[in-house]
Structure 1
Amino acid sequence: MSSDLPGAAGALSEKHPTVWEAYAALGEATAHAGDLTERERRLVKLALAIGAGSEGAVHSHTRRGLEQGISEADLHQVALLAIGTLGLPRAVAAGTWIADVTDA
């Protein structure tokens, strides 16, 4: 299986294509299990990545959000929304991870 995925995800998809295909199918199934728009799903996934403290996932969802036409301001607002729930340090870290992509 040829992969255009970065880093460890790409390596996993190359080494274990059936596992990656099952994971991708699960993602498709959950994406269509409700009425959220593609934009809403991307912002929720960004928020979940911030909450999980996953720098790589924040980078990924920021990149994908930009590709989908979500504005930089909207992506950065998700980090600001994290202040009340996750605290200022986590929100500031998330903002820098988003900036890694938006300022590149």
Structure 2
Amino acid sequence: MTQDLPGGAGDIARDYPDVWTAYTNLGEATAKAGSLSARERRLVKLALAIGTGSEGAVHSHARRAEADGVSAADMEQVALLAIGPLGFPRAVAARSWITDVTEG
């Protein structure tokens, strides 16, 4: 699995497998901590990535959402929803990062 990770995440997973295992376990535990569906969790994570302004994280969560069957239109709506709390420029950037994946 760690061979498939891009960039810095793959480097950490390969160089520090115990850290990567702990990180993975934390992600699994937080996913099980409530009643959100897998689709809802995926969209929330995409929204959080947009909120941080991290292009790499938005790409990653958009790829995962796409693999999980989330439509490009639904992901783009998440970007549009960012207009109010985060501002128009952040939403435009997020939409472009999502389309990098969905149209790429």
Class of the TM-score when normalised by the shorter of the 2 chains? over 0.9
Q: What value does the CA root-mean-square deviation take over the aligned residues? A: 1.0
The match for 1:53 is 53
Aligned-pair CA distance for 1:2: 4.7
The match for 1:34 is 34
Counterparts of 1:58-73 in structure 2 under 5 Å? Answer: 58-73=58-73
1:4-57, Cα deviation, whole Å (9 max, x unpaired): 101110011000000000000000000000000000000000000000001111
Aligned-pair CA distance for 1:3: 2.2
Aligned partners of 2:82, 2:98: CA distance in 1, in Å?
13
Unaligned stretches of 5+ residues in structure 1: none
Aligned partners of 1:70, 1:100: CA distance in 2, in Å?
15
Please, what TM-score do these two structures have when normalized by structure 2? 0.97
Unaligned stretches of 5+ residues in structure 2: none
Q: Percent identity?
A: 67
What stretches of structure 1 move > 3 A for 4+ residues in a row? Answer: none
Partner AA of 2:83 in structure 1 = I
* Count of equivalent residues: 104
Counterparts of 1:89-100 in structure 2 under 5 Å? Answer: 89-100=89-100
